[in-house]
């Protein structure tokens, strides 16, 4: 008998399986096991392109992580974590200072190694190396070559979803965001995001990873997630072969 999280099995009706209430995990025998869902998605794009909302929705969608009877802690990570500084709105993997470059590159090395050690699982990443390149080019006029990183990510099945919107749709997106933002002033100049979107598009063209451009101008999280699921299904991005 084997023990596994329910999210790993696609199209599995969990109500038919025995349940161990003490450990809160589903227990099933090997004959009911199917292919394990382990998509790896990097969401890139400028601000106001719904990346984080889409990331959370993907992380609970049955076509992406499998059917669930309860919430489960599938990994959702972000390059935007400002963990290099001990104060809010600080610095991290994307907007590090020059003297933090070595630390940032070591962090990327660490993530790459962790992904390699845990390949048979879903990984959803909210902004990563493309955003780092864009930020560092804009802030310090310095580019970073992440070919080494993508060469390690590609065999693991990582894919990039580039979230974009039309320039005229940024205004409505800002109106919604400032209702909940802890720092609404960061959205004062929308032209900054339009220009960054153009830059990120250029940088994504250099990627050796499979890329899907996703237009989120209509604001539909549900539609975005279904489009991503369709793309992954068509291109073999839901599973990782041995």
Give the chain's domains with CATH numbers: 37-235 (3.40.50.300)
Q: How large is the greatest C-alpha to C-alpha distance in the chain, in angstroms?
A: 58
Give me the helices (H) in 88-206, please.
Answer: 101-117, 129-140, 147-153, 170-177, 190-204
Strand order in the sheet with 40-44: 76-78, 123-126, 40-44, 158-164, 211-215
pLDDT number for residue 32 = 39
pLDDT number for residue 214 = 98
Residue-wise pLDDT for 60-104, tens only, equals 999 999 998 888 888 999 999 999 999 999 999 999 999 999 999
pLDDT number for residue 33 = 56
| pLDDT(29) > 70 | no
pLDDT number for residue 230 = 98
Average pLDDT over residues 157-182: 96
3-state helix, strand, coil in the chain (%, to 5): 45, 15, 40
Pick from 119, 190, 193, 198: nearest CA to 154: 119
Q: What is the dihedral of CA 155, 101, 206, 137, to 10 degrees?
A: 160
Q: How far apart are CA 140 and CA 136, in angstroms?
A: 5
Average pLDDT over residues 20-41: 56
Residue-wise pLDDT for 124-134, tens only, equals 999 999 999 99
Q: Say which residue, 73 or 221, is predicted with more confidence.
A: 221
């Amino acid at each position: 008998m084997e023990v596994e999280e329910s999210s790993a099995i696609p199209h599995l009706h969990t109500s038919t399986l025995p349940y161990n209430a003490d450990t809160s995990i589903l227990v099933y025998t090997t004959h009911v096991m199917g292919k394990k869902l382990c998509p790896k998605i990097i969401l890139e794009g400028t601000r106001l392109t719904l990346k984080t909302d889409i990331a959370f929705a993907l992380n609970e969608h049955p076509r992406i992580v499998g059917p669930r009877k309860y919430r489960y802690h599938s990994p959702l990570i972000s390059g935007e974590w400002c963990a290099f500084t001990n104060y809010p709105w600080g610095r991290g993997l994307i907007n590090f200072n020059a003297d933090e470059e070595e630390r940032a590159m070591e962090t990327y090395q660490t993530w790459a190694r962790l992904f390699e050690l845990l390949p048979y699982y879903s990984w959803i990443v909210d902004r990563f190396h493309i955003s780092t390149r864009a930020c560092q080019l804009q802030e310090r006029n310095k580019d970073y070559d992440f070919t080494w990183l993508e060469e390690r990510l590609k065999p693991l099945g990582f894919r990039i979803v580039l979230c974009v919107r039309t320039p005229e749709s940024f205004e409505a997106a800002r109106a919604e965001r400032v209702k909940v933002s802890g720092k609404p002033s960061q959205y004062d100049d929308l032209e900054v995001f339009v220009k960054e979107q153009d830059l990120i598009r250029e940088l994504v063209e250099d990627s050796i990873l499979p890329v899907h451009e996703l237009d989120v101008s209509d604001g539909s999280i549900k539609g975005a997630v279904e489009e991503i699921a369709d793309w992954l299904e068509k291109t073999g991005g839901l599973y990782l072969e041995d």
